[in-house]
Structure 1
Amino acid sequence: MRESDIHINRVDWITVSIYFALVMIGWFNIYAAVYDGQAEKSIFDFSINSGKQLVWIGTAIMLITVIMVADPRFFENLSLFIYLAFVLLLVVTPFVGKEVNGQILSVGFGDFRIQPGEFAKFATGLALAKVMERPTFDLSKKNYQAIAFGILLVPVILILLQPDTGTAMVYFAMLLMFYREGLPSIYYILGFGFVGITLLALGIENNLYLAGAIVAVVLILIFLGKRTWQRILAFSLIGVGLIAFIYSLDFVVSKLPEHQQNRIMVLFNPDIDPLGVGWNVTQSKIAIGSGGLFGKGYLEGTQTKFDFVPEQHTDFIFCTLGEEFGWIGSLVVIGLFVGLLYRLVMMAERQKTRFSRIYGYCVISILFFHFMINIAMTIGLFPVVGIPLPFFSYGGSSLWSFTVLLFIFIKMDSSRATQLGRLG
């Protein structure tokens, strides 16, 4: 048997089974999301979203076949080329792409279009894995940190120019992989602290209380340690900087596009405009809550039939599940995602090369971020930023990109026995 043949006995069939279970449950829910109470169109009708999604599922299976029969070294050897190719696509997208709702996200011909920002996720994961696989690559050193962050930020900046804030945010999920590979904890402490202060500044009407708290913390830190002038100056500058930041935040938010301002407002005050900017989230929560324990039954969701929730077949697909299958059905799907992530962590830790392990954690990071943020959006715990639910939401680019992302790693895992002589 050639090395490029599929290692059938080594394929993680549990992971593959979870993938197909999520894809098929998602397909049935896509049909439910467009079902209007009449039986005129079947789930296989190619004129509606469920029929179109079936085509995407069929082509996704073809992509899986190509990936699984490819040489196991193919993606590693061409990782930087693949990354540069998608960076180039991101560069030309604003010039040749199709504009929808003020965003230029897709390129293609006629009805066949893809979103380079979605596919660049796996390409960025491959590039990071290739650069970081060297034994001498040490994320505790500033020069290596600059290289890794540079690779990560190039697609982020290009996607923000489209502009697509939601997709750009996903790339920062790979900081979870950076942590696994040795990025110092201080970056995460500062990052979470910055996010926490930002949320407090946005959520508290009177920033004077927050400024007072910052001053108190700075004074405590100064007096707890040795009171040298350098220490006092450093903490004082940090305190002044944070206070300046929280008082300038309203100005920064005011410069954001109106729809992004509205999303932030709804997050902190869901009832501010339930018939306007808060409509999506309000109706999504009503749909999920009305499902109760066991749901209303398949194709019996009233919120769905009467189109109360916009974009219900894409970003808000989870509320269709919650309304028709209730808490039990939602728990099953969440359990499948948790099981998938658990399997992927196990797979990543058993890899024989650093390249495969790093790419595996990129896959885990991206899927985890999409899963958490999408569900948080539908229940009002996170602003609506256009993050699809992996393998579940309608869309060819979404399904294809997640399929490629996952099955490249499944292929690496199935051929890990051939990597024993290439330990990193």
Structure 2
Amino acid sequence: MRQERNNIFANIDWILVFLFIILVSFGWVNIYAASKTAENNHILDFSTKYGKQIIWICLSVPLIIIILFLNSKFYERFASIFYLVSIFSLILLFPLGKEINGAKSWFGFGGMSLQPSEFVKAFTALAVAKLLSDRQYNLKLVKNQIKAFIIIFLPAVLITLQPDAGSALIYLAFFFVLNREGLTLNYILIGSAAIILFIATIFFGSSWVIFSLILLISVFVGYAIYKGGKRFIRFNWHKIVAIYLISSLYILGTGLVYNNIFKQHHRDRFEVLLGLKIDNKNIGYNSYQSELTISSGGLTGKGFLQGDITKGNFVPEQHTDYIFSTVGEEWGFLGTSSVIILFMFMLYRIIYLSETHTNKFGRIYGYSLASILFFHVIVNIGMVIGLLPTVGIPLPFFSYGGSSLWGFTILLFIFIRLDAHKNYDW
């Protein structure tokens, strides 16, 4: 038993490893298709995007071995230190960071760049798992909820200030984890209501939404009085008034922020998404070209390296955030469906293994991993097919970039390491 415990490859879930290899390999194939040119078509040309990605993939192997070599207890014991170091790395970006596309999100090392926010997700997941797995920690207490919110939103705020709002949005995924561990569903319901009111305010304007809210509440109150009579009037009227006042203030604040604080290009993105404005040549160009590229693939696709829209470089950043459009054009509906099925199977496998953990730390970390992956996949694919605004979120294991690949590799293989020894007494 001890010999098996000391073997870093003992009890590893090879299904997850196999899914990782498939996704990374197919991702590289599509990076090659999206970045290959007539001048640069040698697979081992390391000056190209696909050549550099090969280097990152190869460097992932020793990284994986190191992660698996460390004892499972190591990640729980030093979770807080990992988290603090990652926060410090985000702070250092402000004086030392390299600005790319208007955001100070990168550290430059010669010809190489690293994006700390891609690694902070894993260390935040460890910190959340460490906090919530404490035997004396009760998530139903408000003071404990505040502690969890601080751990989750501190990196999100620092990332937003870079500014990189897309990467900061990912931290909302941790609410699924908190809900699994006992946090009331009201937070998610309130968040969903806030999103609906935000969109409605943009679409119809503050005045119409507030007036509609009055009608809705009036109908609800009338029905409740009819059913509950005086008892409802005596005990619930103040809650109705409070909900209305808070909602109205939120709607007015949303209109004020949207019209006076949001920059024009931010407003344009929302208005294009909601159909209030058609702009296929400027703000909506990326989404329009991406949708056109995917739809041109049909059922089976045009074939590997046969995508004429991909070859023409009509989709900006196609090798990174819009890599899914390459899959759609060259591999068609069958290819895109297969990718989604692979991701869904990986998520199912992670959740299934998490539920079998005897150690609470491993279960919470597993749910954090699944939530982050789910959020990335949904937002990225939704963005590429035009259902969501462009926010600059990579597709896990697919999009070009060493930071993204390493960040998700660390996230996944820490879980694989924890899962491998879940039945041992740490």
Q: Is the 8 A contact 1:86 1:119 kept in 2?
A: yes
Q: Which runs of 5+ in 2 are unaligned?
A: none
Question: What is the alpha-carbon distance in structure 2 between the residues aligned to residue 117 and residue 164 of structure 1?
Answer: 9
Q: Is the 8 A contact 2:354 2:367 kept in 1?
A: yes
Does residue 273 (structure 1) correspond to residue 274 (structure 2)? The answer is no
Further displaced range: 173-182 or 228-237:
228-237
Further displaced range: 12-21 or 228-237:
228-237
Tell me: CA distance 1:121–1:28, structure 2 relative to 1, closer, same or farther (3 Å): same
Does residue 397 (structure 1) correspond to residue 416 (structure 2)? The answer is no
Q: Is the 8 A contact 1:6 1:68 kept in 2?
A: no
- Backbone CA RMSD of aligned residues: 1.8
Q: Provide the residue aligned with 1:260 in structure 2.
A: 266
Q: Provide the residue aligned with 2:187 in structure 1.
A: 187
SS at match of 1:310: coil
SS at match of 1:416: coil
Q: Is the 8 A contact 2:4 2:10 kept in 1?
A: no
SS at match of 2:99: strand
Q: Provide the residue aligned with 1:79 in structure 2.
A: 79
Question: What is the alpha-carbon distance in structure 2 between the residues aligned to residue 70 and residue 9 of structure 1?
Answer: 13
Question: What is the alpha-carbon distance in structure 1 between the residues aligned to residue 248 and residue 43 of structure 2?
Answer: 56
SS at match of 2:46: coil
Q: Provide the residue aligned with 1:328 in structure 2.
A: 334
Does residue 371 (structure 1) correspond to residue 377 (structure 2)? The answer is yes
Question: What is the alpha-carbon distance in structure 2 between the residues aligned to residue 132 and residue 237 of structure 1?
Answer: 32
Question: What is the alpha-carbon distance in structure 2 between the residues aligned to residue 10 and residue 148 of structure 1?
Answer: 32
1:1-400 superposed matches below 5 A = 1=2, 5-36=6-37, 38=38, 40-204=40-204, 206-223=205-222, 224=224, 225=228, 226-228=231-233, 231-254=236-259, 255-269=261-275, 272-400=278-406
Q: Is the 8 A contact 1:56 1:399 kept in 2?
A: yes
2:216 corresponds to which letter in structure 1? Answer: V
Q: Once the two structures are superposed, what CA deviation does each residue of 1:281-332 show, in whole Å capped at 9, x if it has no partner? A: 0000000000000001111111111111000000000000000000001111
Q: Is the 8 A contact 1:281 1:378 kept in 2?
A: yes
Q: Is the 8 A contact 1:280 1:309 kept in 2?
A: yes
2:298 corresponds to which letter in structure 1? Answer: G
Question: What is the alpha-carbon distance in structure 2 between the residues aligned to residue 40 and residue 138 of structure 1?
Answer: 57
TM-score, with length taken from structure 1: 0.94
Q: Is the 8 A contact 1:295 1:323 kept in 2?
A: yes
Q: Is the 8 A contact 1:218 1:236 kept in 2?
A: no
2:28 corresponds to which letter in structure 1? Answer: W
Q: Is the 8 A contact 1:7 1:415 kept in 2?
A: no
Question: What is the alpha-carbon distance in structure 2 between the residues aligned to residue 393 and residue 27 of structure 1?
Answer: 8
Question: What is the alpha-carbon distance in structure 1 between the residues aligned to residue 313 and residue 234 of structure 2?
Answer: 63
Question: What is the alpha-carbon distance in structure 2 between the residues aligned to residue 142 and residue 123 of structure 1?
Answer: 24
TM-score, with length taken from structure 2: 0.94
SS at match of 2:104: strand
Question: What is the alpha-carbon distance in structure 1 between the residues aligned to residue 52 and residue 347 of structure 2?
Answer: 28
Tell me: CA distance 1:289–1:146, structure 2 relative to 1, closer, same or farther (3 Å): same
Tell me: CA distance 1:77–1:4, structure 2 relative to 1, closer, same or farther (3 Å): farther
Further displaced range: 178-187 or 40-49:
40-49
Tell me: CA distance 1:2–1:70, structure 2 relative to 1, closer, same or farther (3 Å): farther
Question: What is the alpha-carbon distance in structure 2 between the residues aligned to residue 138 and residue 228 of structure 1?
Answer: 35
Q: Is the 8 A contact 2:40 2:48 kept in 1?
A: no
Q: Is the 8 A contact 2:138 2:144 kept in 1?
A: yes
Question: What is the alpha-carbon distance in structure 1 between the residues aligned to residue 388 and residue 305 of structure 2?
Answer: 28
Q: Once the two structures are superposed, what CA deviation does each residue of 1:185-215 show, in whole Å capped at 9, x if it has no partner? A: 12122121111121222223x5544323311
Question: What is the alpha-carbon distance in structure 1 between the residues aligned to residue 97 and residue 32 of structure 2?
Answer: 29
1:21 corresponds to which letter in structure 2? Answer: I
CA-CA distance at 1:7 after TM superposition? 4.8
SS at match of 1:8: coil
Q: Is the 8 A contact 2:206 2:255 kept in 1?
A: no
Q: Is the 8 A contact 2:210 2:248 kept in 1?
A: yes
SS at match of 1:403: helix
Question: What is the alpha-carbon distance in structure 2 between the residues aligned to residue 50 and residue 40 of structure 1?
Answer: 10
